[in-house]
Amino acid sequence: MSHKEIPDAAIEQVAKHINSRSNKNYGIPVVGNDSNVETPQVFEIIPFDQIDNSERRFYAVDGSYNSEQFYNGLSIGIYAAGYVCFKEGKQIRVNQLDDPVILGKAYYPENILVAAPNDLLSIYDELLDLEPVKKLLSFWNVLDDPSKAFAYSRETICTNLSTLLSFCQEVLELALVFEIASLEDTKPGDFILRDGTLRPIQIKQEYSVQIGKYVSSKNIRILAITKQSPIKMELSYTFKQIDTYLQDQLKPNYQFSAKDPKRQKLCCWFEVPEVVLESAYRGGGMFIKKDIRGGRGFGLFLVARLDYVEKLQNYDWVVIDMNIFDAIPGIEQKELARNRAMLESTTRELTRLTQEHYILGYPYPLAEAHNFISLKRNFKEQLISRLKYSLYKDQRMDHVEIENLFLDMHDRF
């Protein structure tokens, strides 16, 4: 059978859409105004030789899930979440293991086999019985009926394996945020970093907001950071204009404290205006709302450039979802003044994490957390290999029968 190519018209339409969105001019000036945080706020990066001179702990939380379905209806699905911690530039232990290499803490389920619909319900129930999740449910006061805190019913979540695993990952990640904030070793001023946003779609806002308020009350900074976001496409033109101004006009005249020209870097951040959010998340009014009611989660979107890699331009920029209780201290009283000093100090502190890793401009604890917890394809292959071995060694099954169980019919096409 000949291969059916995608029509040229479809490709051209996509190219036209991308070009249009990535060249929008939202009128954001390149020269910032201190009184308007929706304009560029420029600062000098923390000097490289000082980045480890801090007593703060930088935690990073991440999660992952993966699954495999076989021709006979048998499925294996697994989710995981965990965290790592860095202090003074070094990873420190957060688990009780004796392993000299694994210093992070992770949670995995025991129920990973799906042979019938009821197995999905078992995976759901096991999640709610994990210690960090039980503590979070107790904090929410919903131990008697956890579904009160969730956006969807147990039956809806367990409709299919992918939806269930995504739910499990999201809930477990939030539970770990609560766990970290409650640790005796976590002190005021410490950071908790997440990948993505602070807007969980599986949790009702009134409950996720409680986490943001709790963490803020302990003077712990929680923020989510990502390099992948539709916000970046909408602001692509703006980023290029700001980068050009900072590098070509402002930098030559800036009074740097760093004397080495190679270390003279200007960083920048600003709050994302509503008009940009509306274009980036079309139809996502709840997701983009800058409030703790009638929306999703407890975040406030900023964009920031926390390092500079010449010629890559908007690759340097990240999207930060800041805890709205930190960014807008009077949010509960509808007082919308931004805490500019806190936003400035937080973004500057992040530059301690963005200068010495294989992804410049991106906090390395998040990269380490991702590598620590990610369930990649080779993980599935390893899992299946171990399962096959156990079926042969412990269950005494025939080798051919085992191979037939895990046959992938698509490999035969």
Instruction: Give pLDDT tens digits for 33-70.
Output: 999 999 999 999 999 999 999 999 999 999 999 988 77
- Give pLDDT, residue 23: 86
Q: Are 85 and 57 in contact (CB under 8 A)?
A: yes
Give dist(CA 239, CA 232) in Å, integer: 8
Task: Using a pLDDT cut of 70, give the percent of the chain over it.
Answer: 93
Q: Which residue has the higher pLDDT, 100 or 393?
A: 100
Give dist(CA 172, CA 167) in Å, integer: 8
**Mean pLDDT across 142-164:** 95
- pLDDT at position 318 over 70: yes
174's torsion region: left (phi>0), alpha (psi -120 to 50) or beta?
A: alpha
- Give pLDDT, residue 409: 47
Q: Which residue has the higher pLDDT, 282 or 156?
A: 156
- pLDDT at position 314 over 70: no
Task: Using a pLDDT cut of 90, give the percent of the chain over it.
Answer: 69
Specify the DSSP class assigned to residue 298: T
**Mean pLDDT across 222-239:** 94
CA 290 to mean position of chain CA atoms: 19
pTM for the model: 0.91
Residue 165 pLDDT level (bands cut at 50, 70, 90) = very high
Residue 413 pLDDT level (bands cut at 50, 70, 90) = very low
Task: Give per-residue pLDDT as tens, 69-114.
Answer: 776 777 888 999 999 999 999 999 999 888 888 999 999 999 988 8
Give dist(CA 23, CA 180) in Å, integer: 41
- Give pLDDT, residue 260: 85
- Give pLDDT, residue 313: 54
- Give pLDDT, residue 75: 85
Give dist(CA 90, CA 56) in Å, integer: 12
**Mean pLDDT across 190-204:** 96
Q: Which residue has the higher pLDDT, 211 or 116?
A: 211
- Give pLDDT, residue 381: 75
Q: Calculate the average pLDDT of the chain.
A: 90
- pLDDT at position 119 over 70: yes
Which of 253, 248, 246 has the alpha carbon at shortest distance from 267? 246
Which of 408, 377, 405, 378 has the alpha carbon at shortest distance from 390? 405
